Amino acid sequence: MASSSDATPSAGNTPEPETGPEGVSAPETAGAPTRRGRVRLRRAAVLAVPAAAVTAGLAILTAHGALGVQFAISGMPFTVTATELDGTGFAQFGGLDNMAEGSPNAGDTGGQVLVVTSVIKEAKLTKLCQSVDLGGTNLLITAGEGDTRVSASDLTTDSTFLSGDASFNNIEIGNDASTLDKAGPKGRGPIGVFSQQADTVHIKNLRQTNYATTAAVFKLPGLKLRFSGSGC
């Protein structure tokens, strides 16, 4: 987490020497008063990103007020799986989704869910499955099980869990989310938020727990919607 030092004189107290990195005292300048360092924590968001090709999960801390989707979420998580995902123009950053005021799903969360927002400019998925637990039964959606894959443009998912075997081309990790450019305008996050982006992404055996999904275009060949005793 980034921090900045805002040094001010210690009024009414015996001044203490400034400390540099690792707690080492900085040398005093002749004739100049010694100042006390006062650390002010800046708003920041940290996304824990695995360096290896296998992505086991993602965890974030998000800046106060950073938003994911721009609509009120239901607060009911849903599962998304695919045997393969191929994407061009990938971006990822931390976000905060909000439920409608008075939502019965808010619990003790205050109606907010901390999420990882993933944006893919152009995505193709094989054997897509989406399910939501309605309490005793699941609403199940499947598509892309034939020769034609599911396709989406400006695909955005707000997730609390993501797993699979992943590989990236020309990945950049540690960008300010407001400067991302590989996934287009929708792939930019709030300023001051830790993020990553890549030219392409491939994920095998994808599994996500999502609270929201949006897309400019979403094509679902072989779409099937039904109720089921089990989810994805």
Q: For 182-225, what is each residue's pLDDT tens digit? A: 999 999 999 999 999 999 999 999 999 999 999 999 999 999 99
Q: What 3-state DSSP class applies to 72?
A: coil
Distance CA 201, CA 129 (A): 19
User: How far is Cα 206 from Cα 81, in angstroms, rounded to an integer?
Assistant: 5
Residue in 1, 163, 164, 183 with CA at minimum distance from that of residue 92: 183
- C-alpha–C-alpha distance, residues 159 and 153, integer Å: 18
Nearest CA to 18 out of 39, 31, 35 is that of 35
Q: Once rounded to an integer, what is the mean pLDDT over residues 41-60?
A: 32
Please indicate whether residue 115 or residue 29 has the higher confidence score (pLDDT). 115
- Please tell me the pTM assigned to this model: 0.72
Instruction: Select the more confidently predicted residue: 152 or 30.
Output: 152
Q: How far apart are CA 118 and CA 214, in angstroms?
A: 11
User: Between 57 and 140, where is the model more confident?
Assistant: 140
DSSP string, 158-215: EEEEEEEEEEEES-EEEEEGGG--TT-GGG---TTBEEEEEEEEEEEEEEEEEEEEE-
> Which amino acid does the sequence have at 213?
T
